[in-house]
Amino acid sequence: MSEELKNVTATNVTATVKWFKPEKGFGFVRLADGSGEAFLHASVLAAASLPNPVEGTTVVCDLAQGAKGPQVVAIHSATPPETPPAPRARNQRPPRPTASAVQPAFQGEDGGEAMVRAPKPPRERRERSAEPAGPATMAYGTVRWYNLDSQSGLIEPWEEGATVYFDRATLRQSGLDIVADGEDVRYLAVGSEDAPVAQRVELI
C-alpha cells in the first residue's frame, strides 16, 4: 500500500473538477462541502481507468494530506457535466480599426482626400504599487518572460485571468535566483484582477 493511501484523511468525498491540464498531468478539484480544493494527479485517474476529466466533472474520491495540501488519492466514480464547458477565449487581439478610426489628413494631388490612420493611444506602463490591495490568492502558471535588464517578468496563469507581474525582489524573497521563460511555477498573488502582483514564486 502506498504512503498516500496509508494517510487517507477522508473517504467518499464529493468534489467538482476545477480544471485539469493533460499536458501538465494534474489539476485541482473543488470540495463540495466548501472546505477548499485538492490536488489531482493523472496517476490517480490512470489507477481508476478514467479519462482526463473536463471542467465541471463530479467525482467521488478519497483524500490524503500531501506535502502542499489535500490531494486526491483514489477516485470511486466520475460523472461528466451535462453541458460541456465552452472553450475559453484568452489573449485575444483587439479588433482592427474601423473606418471611423481613419481620418482625412490632407488633400491629394488628384483633389481627393488622402487618408491616414489615427495615432495609436500611448501604452500604459504597469507600475508595481508599494502595497497592493486585495486578498492573496495561490495559483499556478507559466513564466511568459523574465528580463534580466529590468529584473522583472510576467507569469501567464493557467486559469483565466490577467498576467501576473513579479520582479527580482519577489524571487529573492522566494529563495530563487532566477527563473527561465516557460518554467511552471506556483505563485501567491495580490492586487486587483486586472493588475495582480506576485508576492511569492515557487518552481514546481
Q: Report pLDDT digits (tens) over 158-186.
A: 887 888 999 999 999 999 888 888 888 98
Where do we find the cell 482526463?
A: 52
Residue 2 grid coordinates: 502506498
- With 70 as the cut, is the pLDDT of residue 88 above it? no
Radius of gyration (C-alpha) of the chain in whole angstroms: 23
> Which DSSP string corresponds to 122-170?
PPPP-PPPSS--S--EEEEEEEEEEETTTTEEEEEESSSS--EEEEHHH
Q: Report pLDDT digits (tens) over 100-122.
A: 444 555 555 555 555 555 555 55
pLDDT value at position 101?
47
- With 90 as the cut, is the pLDDT of residue 76 above it? yes
Q: Report pLDDT digits (tens) over 37-65.
A: 999 999 999 998 999 899 899 999 999 98
